[in-house]
Amino acid sequence: MMMIREARMEDIAACAALQASYATQAVWQVRREGDPREAGEVTQGGPLISLLVQQVRLPQKRLIPLPSAMTPLERVWECFDARLVAVDDEGDEAPDDALHEHQVSKPGGPLGDEPPVLSHVRGVALLQVLPDQQQAMIARLLVDQPARGQGTGTALLRAARRWAAAEGFVALLAHVPLRNVPGIAFYLRRGFRVCGLHEHFYPTREDALLLVRGGVIAVMSDE
């Protein structure tokens, strides 16, 4: 059995050890069309630039590290406003920090106050708040390789939406490397839509596709 709960200080090492890579045989590429600097085209309303995002198949499957996980987790742990982990069931009675349908942790809550509990971490979701926009961003969502394809990522995403709803946010954002075709498909299948492209978003200067799912305020009633 699996449960989602708020992360504890003793979970950091296990979260850092999760496989932060993905396998893909296709990538998304961006082609710019109508750039006035190149074509000299200017419309009546001003310069017109079109971005075409196209999926390209690779000759063979590649294992690519996630650029969002390059910074050691221990260094940035306190930067996140919510830290959720998927763990094996820790006993017959759920701990106080378990995230049930209507029980969601507070951002920046105390960590390290609970007694140590040995548990196997299957995945982690780390969120940051964008207070001016009343939105939250999924900064990292990692599922260990053996736990992939078993609903762990979906459970973490659902818990993230419930947390965002409890905090009154109007939307939940996510960023995915443009090459991470499986990751982009994961969010699109779960109601997210593409809302932007951020060039050189990661330390590796990889581009990121930005995705959003609104209406999180109603998550308590629709799930």
What are the structural domain ranges in the chain?
2-222
For Cα atoms 169, 137, 19, give the angle at the middle one, nearest 5 degrees: 140
Using CA atoms, how far residue 72 sits from 17, 176, 212, in Å, is 10, 18, 26
Which of 119, 125, 202, 118 has the alpha carbon at shortest distance from 164? 125
Chain centroid, CA 129 distance in Å? 13
What percent of the chain clears pLDDT 70, i.e. is strictly above it?
Answer: 75
Using CA atoms, how far residue 154 sits from 148, 157, 189, 222, in Å, is 10, 5, 10, 15
Give CA torsion, residues 151, 154, 155, 157, to 10 deg. Answer: 160
Say what the pLDDT of residue 66 is. 94
> Which of the residue ranges 35-39, 55-59, 121-125 would you say has the lowest mean pLDDT?
35-39
DSSP three-state, residue 31: strand
Using CA atoms, how far residue 146 sits from 16, 31, 117, 202, in Å, is 15, 36, 22, 26
pLDDT band at 220 (very low <50, low <70, confident <90, very high): very low
User: 136-195: per-residue pLDDT in tens?
Assistant: 999 999 999 999 999 999 999 999 999 999 999 999 999 999 999 999 999 999 999 999
pLDDT band at 1 (very low <50, low <70, confident <90, very high): confident
Instruction: Among 3.30.70.3460, 3.60.20.30, 3.40.50.150, 3.40.630.30, name the CATH number for the domain at 2-222.
Output: 3.40.630.30
Name, in order, each residue with C-beta under 8 angstroms of 82's C-beta and a sequence gap of 6 or more. 6, 105, 107, 108, 125, 126, 127, 136, 160, 163
Given a cut of 80, is residue 37 above it in pLDDT?
no
What is the average pLDDT value for the chain, to the nearest integer?
A: 83
> Which of the residue ranges 81-90, 99-108, 125-134 would you say has the lowest mean pLDDT?
99-108
Given a cut of 60, is residue 18 above it in pLDDT?
yes
10: amino acid identity, one letter: E
Given a cut of 60, is residue 77 above it in pLDDT?
yes
Between CA 205 and CA 137 the distance in angstroms is 20
Say what the pLDDT of residue 180 is. 95
User: 105-151: per-residue pLDDT in tens?
Assistant: 444 444 444 444 456 999 999 999 998 889 999 999 999 999 999 99
What percent of the chain clears pLDDT 90, i.e. is strictly above it?
Answer: 62
Which of 205, 204, 217 has the alpha carbon at shortest distance from 104? 217
